Amino acid sequence: MPHDPNTTLDQWADQSDYKWGFVTDIDADTLPPGLDEDVIHIISARKGEPEWLLEWRLGAFAKWKEMAEPAWAHWPDRDWRPIDYQAISYFSAPKRDEDRPKSLDEVDPKLLETYEKLGIPLEERAALAGVAVDAVFDSVSVATTFRDTLAEAGVIFCSFSEAVQEHPDLVRKYLGKVVSRTDNFFAALNAAVFTDGSFVYIPKGVRCPMELSTYFRINQMNTGQFERTLIVADEGAYVSYLEGCTAPQRDENQLHAAVVELVALDDAEIKYSTIQNWYPGDENGVGGIYNFVTKRGLCAGHRSHISWTQVETGSAMTWKYPSCILKGDDSIGEFYSVALTNNHQQADTGTKMIHVGKRTRSNVVSKGISAGKGHNTYRGFVKILPGSDDSRNYTQCDSMLMGAECGAHTFPVIEVENRTAQVEHEASTTKIGEDQIFYCNQRGISSEDAVSMIVNGFCREVFAELPMEFAVEAKALLAVSLEDSVG
């Protein structure tokens, strides 16, 4: 039906054929399942978006309808049930406080035990467990302190929705410039229906005065399943951004299709670290999140530098290839990854390094750990374009297997169109053997400590890239994720 973007949501709901039972308190409501243009109109109207953004969404949606869900992934040992996109609700307001636990006493003790093991600071546990924040601690004051510090430096760090309102020119200039709205099936879906996410802008010559992490962890709960992040580092700027958290996050949404775009101008550097620990499903492979994410960075400027570091231990299925387009001369792209699959988890992850500019360099270190019946796939693409003189890539891809029922798979693709390029690919596969565990046991070390020691040793090059406190948490996370995986 034709739609006037100026119509308020209430009016729109009234004239629609649907009887949604909308009441005045729209904040607490959830759209019924289903996806069509009307839903996109509602999302956009609900967020008070400008016309161009609505058009942008609708364009993505039109294209998405013509696209097919990708089927190329390698999924041994898991029945792929196509996702019913009409069964998903595309707008879900945050839970009302009265529906949440009132205090930590009402939270599942097992969850709290895990937080304890991971060393999550006490004040963050409540927020992570979904306790109504105001009931526990004053997050507003924490957030305000951070905000003041950032504002002094001129850094913009806010929710995506807020950025659309407050910094529309910046958003419009960069949105979809790295991952176009029709880049792939899930990116198109995200473009059509994303509800929120984060926006970061670091002005010229500014070094962001803090890791954008703690703040993020407290404030980015419930951003929904279609999250969108845009980070722009202007000339000579630097930012280190941390997404996610080691604590197991509960979420009823099965599909997560986020998009992250990074833009680094001349001499800028962006360090993006992720710890992903979404619900992996139970030990029989029932349930769990599908994590289908598009992450890409554009080294637009000369001597710019983008570095992706990820520790992926959660989700039932992960498809994720944080990539770099090295457009500026002398730009650098890096990808450091640890992906761990246990029970029936499947992770298909890797990177693309596209060398466009001259003397560009990329470095890829991928560590896949498979335990139980888990499968890990490394998928890499290195391309050196004709104009990219004297460029270099080094890829190291290591797999570790625990037990006899897991798998590791590697699909590296290298395309070199310039004779001056140097491209190296190294791969190894190791197995944690019972003999190694026994050897450790014989020296008085428990099996759990032994596994944790061996796995951490295997991952040390990647952990070295994480901000310090997260490296510590990541180690604990791997140990917890592998509990009971050795007999």
CB 211, min distance to another protein, A: 27
Residue 389 gets which letter from DSSP? T
CB 463, min distance to another protein, A: 11
**H or E, element range at 410:** strand 407-416
Nearer to another protein, 98 or 435 (CB): 435
Distance CA(365)–CA(463), nearest Å, equals: 11
Nearer to another protein, 32 or 433 (CB): 433
CB 477, min distance to another protein, A: 18
Nearer to another protein, 141 or 442 (CB): 442
DSSP assignments along 5-17, one per residue = TTS-HHHHHHHSS
Identity of residue 125: R
Nearer to another protein, 282 or 434 (CB): 434
CB 244, min distance to another protein, A: 25
CB 438, min distance to another protein, A: 6
Name the residue among 223, 162, 236, 168 with its Cα closest to residue 197: 223
Nearer to another protein, 78 or 431 (CB): 431
Distance CA(40)–CA(91), nearest Å, equals: 9
Nearer to another protein, 119 or 433 (CB): 433
Interacting residues with another protein (CB under 8 A)? 430, 433-436, 438-447, 449, 453-454, 456-458, 460
CB 437, min distance to another protein, A: 9
Name the residue among 291, 225, 171 with its Cα closest to residue 35: 225
Nearer to another protein, 304 or 481 (CB): 481
Please, which residues have CB within 8 angstroms of residue 207's CB and are 6 or more apart in sequence? Answer: 237, 238
Per-residue exposure over 63-87, b if at least 16 CB sit within 10 Å of its own CB, e if not = bbeeeeeeeeeeeeebeeeebeeee
Q: Which residue matches tokens 């290195």?
A: 382
Tell me the two tokens of residue 38. Answer: 């009307």
Nearer to another protein, 75 or 439 (CB): 439
Nearer to another protein, 315 or 481 (CB): 481
Residue 244 gets which letter from DSSP? E
On whether the CB atoms of residues 317 and 304 are closer than 8 A, the answer is: no
CB 165, min distance to another protein, A: 49
Nearer to another protein, 42 or 459 (CB): 459
CB 310, min distance to another protein, A: 19
Distance CA(479)–CA(472), nearest Å, equals: 11
On whether the CB atoms of residues 59 and 51 are closer than 8 A, the answer is: no
CB 449, min distance to another protein, A: 7
CB 433, min distance to another protein, A: 7
Per-residue exposure over 206-237, b if at least 16 CB sit within 10 Å of its own CB, e if not = bebeebbbbbbbbbbbebbbbbbbbbbbbbbb
Helix axes 447-458, 468-481, angle to 10 degrees: 130
Beta bridge pairs of residue 201? 156, 232
